[in-house]
Structure 1
Amino acid sequence: MGVIPVTILYAGLYGLLMAFLSIRVSFSRARLDVEFGDAGHADLQTKIRVFGNYTEYMPMMVVMFLVLELAHTRAVLLHAIGSSLLFLRILHAVSLKADARPVAWRRMARFVSALGTLLILIGMSLLLVKPYIL
């Protein structure tokens, strides 16, 4: 398989999610005949921000994930981190919908996905600096 099989698996899954989010933006642009920006369409703006938020967080998360695997972090912990992060990013994308009326589960899902992503970021960071602190 390779020396970093867990990172390979989750990088592939995260890439597929990124492609899906990108395709959603492209299809919306084509349907609305918008070449650049959002042209004032709230739904397109939301899809652009979901994709943007994903691309803002995930590169650093994947790099830290890779470094953790190279540092011989246990595979079970890596799978817990990787699958949780994938679930949270899907939850984040699903919970954001511009034209939907406010629904309690959407607000809670956004909160959980944002907080969960932040906690994973902090957790991975602490795992990486732990040897230098102790």
Structure 2
Amino acid sequence: MSLTVTPLYAGLLTLLYLVLTVRVVRYRRGNQISLGDQGDSQMAKRVRVHGNWAEYAPLVMILLLITELQGAPALVLHLIGAAFLIGRICHAVGVSQTPQIMPLRVVGMVLTISVMILTSLGLIGHSLL
């Protein structure tokens, strides 16, 4: 079985991660912040956006991979991947702004949590059949 959908979203999500990483590194260099956030709220916000991605993306990518390996239809896999990617972008943009754009942040988290719940339940259901 050749994987076709998971690699696409792994690549796209990695590019998003790199954008978030560059935002942190540039701010650190521009403001001479070596470790932590040194009380700089903008630095703290960038680190948190970056960290939030890192907390959710690996697990969702594992769920997507297992779902693809279980033979889920490509449409379902794309819905999972696209919803998660859109959710992560919405969350990052919403949290990154000052003041935060709460509707974007909320949409981002709703999409993220929904993907996790639905994919988990689908995998559990499939394994019980």
In 2 relative to 1, CA 12–40 (structure 1 residues): closer, same or farther, beyond 3 Å?
same
**Can you list the C-alpha shifts for 1:47-77, whole angstroms capped at 9, x where unaligned?**
1000001000000100110000000000011
Q: Establish whether residue 86 from structure 1 lines up as the match of residue 85 from structure 2.
A: yes
Which amino acid in the other structure matches residue 72 of structure 1? G
Match in the other structure for 1:11: 10
How far apart, in 2, do the equivalents of 1:63 and 1:81 lie? 12
Aligned positions of 1:38-117 closer than 5 A: 38-97=37-96, 100-101=98-99, 106-117=101-112
Per-residue deviation, 1:108: 1.2
Q: Secondary structure at the match of 2:96?
A: coil
How far apart, in 2, do the equivalents of 1:38 and 1:132 lie? 44
**Can you list the C-alpha shifts for 1:7-34, whole angstroms capped at 9, x where unaligned?**
1111000010011101100000001100
How far apart, in 1, do the equivalents of 2:80 and 2:126 lie? 19
Per-residue deviation, 1:133: 4.3
Per-residue deviation, 1:91: 0.7
CA RMSD of superposed structures (Å): 1.4
- For structure 1, list consecutive stretches of 5 or more residues without a partner in the other structure: none
Per-residue deviation, 1:131: 2.6
**Can you list the C-alpha shifts for 1:81-129, whole angstroms capped at 9, x where unaligned?**
111111110111101136x236xxx111111111211011001101110
What's the TM-score once normalised by structure 2's chain length?
0.94
From 111, 114, 122, give the equivalent of 2:117: 122
